[in-house]
Amino acid sequence: PAIIKITLRYLQPPEFKTEVLEETRGWVENQVELGGLRICLSGPTRFLSRKSILAFNFTRMQLCLFGGQLWQGPLRGGQTAEAQFFQASIRDQAFFAYFLVEQDLIAARGRGGGLALWGRIVDGA
């Protein structure tokens, strides 16, 4: 619905740069806004280019109300999960296997078999 705004952002901070070409390390932020409430989940990612798989783990959460931060902190042992994320097997992590990547549309299957679709929204359009 138009009253809910969901934003997904992928980042590659310098500390996640890797020499391994088959794997790109990064960070994801998944933000949901409803009225004045904003919830942001974030955590590390691994993209395996050979298989078009993006593994991720949401390890941090931030809650804001009308622009003011209410709470920010780790989820489910987030610090430990972050430290172990890049050593864990892909089959033990949440992931998406991408099968369509276009300029304004991305489609993937989740680890559990569900279908995920993303569309690009350009601000001001």
pLDDT tens, 33-44?
999 999 999 999
Q: Looking at residue 125, what is its pLDDT?
A: 45
pLDDT tens, 57-69?
999 999 999 999 9
| Cα distance between residue 80 and residue 8, in whole Å | 24
Q: What predicted TM-score, i.e. pTM, was given to this entire model?
A: 0.83
Q: Looking at residue 23, what is its pLDDT?
A: 80
Give the position of tokens 């998406």. 96
Q: Looking at residue 121, what is its pLDDT?
A: 72
Q: Looking at residue 17, what is its pLDDT?
A: 63
